Structure 1
Amino acid sequence: MAEPGTSAHYERLAGAYDENWTYSDAFLHWMAREMSEALALTSRDRIIDIGCGTGLYTRGVLELIRPSTPILCADPSEAMLSQLPVDPGLRPVCASAEQLAGVDGSEAELAVEPGSVDAVMVKEAIHHVAPTARARVVAGLADLLSADGRFLIVMLPTRIAYPLFDAALERFEELQPDPSDVADHMRDAGLSASLAYRDYPLTIPKDRYLAMVRSRYMSLLSTFDDDEIQAGVAEIDARHPETVLSFPDRFAFVLGIRRRSVS
């Protein structure tokens, strides 16, 4: 999650990140509610959101749950964390998933002790972890859980229906991890794991979407140069003469639960 290219992408994107993603308040509320329900969150839970970015979804969870202890908002990008609202219910932690999992040899700014949180959330960030480290990171993050703790990884499936240009869709399929493999990593870490898919119908003005592609709203798009992005935008525009784009946004919810051992 802290690879140099990825970090640079989010440092550049930080100022416009919320503008790119807040095209649908209804979507943000839906996702926050779905994550809260999947994790069965209550106000008593100690929660950490890893790869939280500007806290778009964390804010929604905070409004829904109002936990008695602040939600830990972890992200390796200081520029992203600087966009967090000043709220006593949110506590920024400048750290990567690798640091929190203890797999890269460095310590996080704020130590998160094993067994100290009841719920771990990772929303569309697990693909930033190198494939060779992914199983170890999942295991390390699972160690943060208390007895009966819950671990939710929300990620895109290996194929998406976004109105992107062909080269971007092909590259996405090459790079995106398989949710089934992530569920297996959770099981290997001693959790009971399940995999479910949830869909949200998105409708967005084409001009807005093309502007998001130009600004490389997905980290995937940072792998294309300016000329390729310009050609890709032209391809999307030609393929979709309609002024409003409608497409399903599908997410894999990989849920791990630490079952209390019975003696």
Structure 2
Amino acid sequence: MNVEDVTEDLLEPCVWALHTILRMIEESSNDDLRAAGFLLPTDCAETAKANQKCIRLGRPKEAIAPLETECLNNSQIVPEPWLVNPALFGHLAEALARTGIDDKRAKILYKQVLQNPKLEIVLYVSARSLLPRVLRRLGDVNLAKSHESWVVKWLRKNPHLLLDIVLRTVLIFDDGSITPILKKLGGMSWFGNRKHTDKTDSNLTKCCPSCGARETEKKLSFCAGCGHARYCSRECQVQNWPVHKGTCKDIQLTLKTVQVLAATDPTASQRLADWNQW
């Protein structure tokens, strides 16, 4: 809903053009649209497709109706669609959270979306960042503070993992005021003061190789053999073992060589240890 597709001076003309195309699609038949060259012979002119193009212009209020339609369509196909298509339901929850139109519905949607054990990192952090707005308006301040504290801690460890446009969407209210999360981070200056360190850059790559889970969802543990690979569970480690086995044994052999060289050639030992580390 906040993609920098166009500059500010072109935003209004683009919105007008999209609404005009949408009206044309709503009022014309597929045959008319194909005859005019707007559709290929095999294309289907679903209004939802045009509606979704309006979603990307930073207008959450306008996005609610088409997102509701898409969510309803998904609900008629699968029993728990928010687990199959969490992005769609997450976008609807975001639109509701940012507008404050239906906080009770937004809370339910976020609860459903956060049930997904393999939720993408952007959706997970966005959900936990926007949900406090809803909870505060509903009077559940303590739970809101709990989510906010988690987000603050996570962003301090991972200040560069999310795109700037995503961060500004979840950390700044639509009226330009800052959220409690951004206040705890230090205010607007935090965006410019974020620094790359070895630790923050290392955090960018930390994920379970089997399922892609990051430490947002589960605590990752090192492989006991090599001390390099990280896994979220024993099951994931077993599943990935055929792939990791060769590398794991190579690293273990290198570590043993480092220990042997330490007694005879400390410089070579340190060089090999550094090579293994990086």
TM-score (norm. length: structure 1): 0.27
Structure with bigger strand share is: 1
Report the structure, 1 or 2, having the larger helix content: 2
Higher relative contact order by CA 8 Å / sep ≥ 6: 1 or 2?
A: 1
Structure showing greater radius of gyration is: 2
